Amino acid sequence: MSMKPILAENVEAHLRVLTEGIGVRLAGSEGERRAVDYIAEQIRSFGGDVQIESFAMNERAVAEQHLNLCIDGRWQSFPCSLLSNTCGTEGITVEAPVAFFEPNDFLRDDLSCFSGKAVVFFNCFFESQEHYRRLHAANPAFLMAVDVRYPDDSLRADGMFPLYTRTFGPMTVVNVPYLDAWCWKEQHASAARLRVLGGMKPGTSQNVIAELPGDDPDAEMLLVSCHHDTQADSVGADDNGTGVVAVLELARALAGVPRRRTVRLISFGGEEQLSVGSADYVRKHRTELSRRCALLLNFDSFGSLLGWSEWSCCCSDDMGRHLTQFFADHGEYLRIAREEVPLADHFPFAACGVPCAWLGRANCVAGRFFHHRTDDTIARLDIPLVTRYLNISAAYLRQLAQQNALPYNPSIPKEQSVQIEKTWQELFGGWDGI
């Protein structure tokens, strides 16, 4: 039985619904719920069995945010974006002297010099729980986080690792553009004022699970995943409208062909808060996943108009070679990276022992220059390329679903598993974490 091709017009139609019809899809928000309804409705329309699993998380609900810096005795306004899983100022204007915190400042024995300061924090992440604990204990007035991966004048949204804030307590942290921070240092900014009305509130997000049953209940299971939520103020055409389209169109393509193996497709919520939905799913289904799953293909941000594509793999060498060779045989040559990359939904599955590969596409050494920005729109995408990748992926999954034996060793190398477990504990709190 032939498989229906995935068409570029269908890819674009899905993307327009997600980005123009629905728009921003913050975890826990009405926009995310509309995306969940759309995904479920589409999969059910061609006979897919859909289940929706809800999980608790924190919803970012910010009504106002204002940042001002005092430069040469004059207060000037600058853009900012409150990180998810941090706290606002309860609508109160907080004023404090400016202090600059470089990564090497963690070498200090004592961080009390940052107490009560408006700290320009030269990074967008904390590299460890211990670093977060120490700066939190110093009790700064608030942090202004600079994403050092992108030295430009753009404002980006992001989030704090939820394990850190729940373990040690939240701080008020806003993202600021790199070149604004450069200006503050160059012009000797003396003080900062921040007012944020709103912050985080208890919420609920959803994972959408579609099952395409195979004929052999004892055969291994194949998984496909994406996430449907976005960052604040971003319609997320690439991150991750492209992934949602992958799940929808791969489900459509595979639904009508015979399969020995079951194919399960999942769209996760809460990825932008460090894969909260994916981690929740894996913790709930750990036994089944460890026993049955032979592959997870995760699709996240793979449509950039210009750039290069790669599979980030947590799997055996022969699985990685088999995957990339299949794409090469169909005229698409993708790099392969052997790295853990904990900031995507495949990672909790790797912690569970499921061999994984994440398809992404970069356009600069830091990733994508429009990462988490308001201009992550359809105009940034190569829709014909997305369509080609999905047709090849559909053919690959069909082949695996029908073969009597898998053509590779479905495992993760021991040395990689050791690092995965270490990171799983540090960032996610392990199997007993949040």
Render pLDDT for 165-216 as a digit per residue (tens, 0 to 9).
999 999 999 999 999 999 999 999 999 999 999 999 999 999 999 999 999 9
CA dihedral defined by 123, 127, 128, 134, rounded to 10 degrees?
-30
> Which residues, listed in sequence order, are joined to residue 143 by a DSSP beta bridge?
119, 173
195 contacts 87 by C-beta, under 8 angstroms: no
Higher pLDDT, 32 or 338: 32
pLDDT of residue 171: 97
Q: Give 123-135 pLDDT, tens digit per residue.
A: 988 989 999 999 9
Question: Residue 48's pLDDT is what?
Answer: 86
Cis-peptide into 240, omega within 30 deg: yes
Task: Identify which of 70, 89, 103 has the alpha carbon closest to the alpha carbon of residue 173.
Answer: 89
The helix/strand/coil state of 283 is helix
- Residue 339's pLDDT is what? 83
Distance CA 176, CA 142 (A): 12
Measured CA to CA, the distance from residue 395 to residue 5 in angstroms comes to 10
User: Rounded to whole angstroms, how far apart are CA atoms 25 and 149?
Assistant: 24
Q: How confident is the model at residue 1 (pLDDT cuts 50, 70, 90)?
A: low
Beta strands in 23-179 (DSSP E): 49-71, 74-78, 81-82, 94-101, 118-121, 142-146, 173-176
- As a whole number, mean pLDDT of residues 51-73 equals 97
Average of pLDDT values for 139-166? 97
Q: Tell me, what's the pLDDT at 46?
A: 86
47: confidence class by pLDDT, cuts 50, 70, 90: confident
| 33 has a pLDDT exceeding 90 | yes
The predicted structure's pLDDT at residue 3? 86
- Residue 167 makes CB contacts below 8 A (sequence gap 6+) with 129, 133, 429
The contacts of residue 9 (CB under 8 Å, 6+ apart) are: none
Phi, psi of 185 (to 5 degrees): -70, -45
Mean pLDDT of 294-312: 98
Sign, CA torsion 18/23/24/29: negative
* pLDDT, averaged across the chain: 97
Domains of the chain: 8-59+202-432 (3.40.630.10), 63-199 (3.50.30.30)
Looking at residue 2, what DSSP letter applies? P
CB atoms within 10 A of CB 356: 31
Could you report the per-residue pLDDT of 230-286, keeping only the tens digit for each? 999 999 999 999 999 999 999 999 998 999 999 999 999 999 999 999 999 999 999
**What is the share, in percent, of the chain residues with pLDDT greater than 90?**
96
What pLDDT band is residue 434 in, cutting at 50, 70 and 90? low
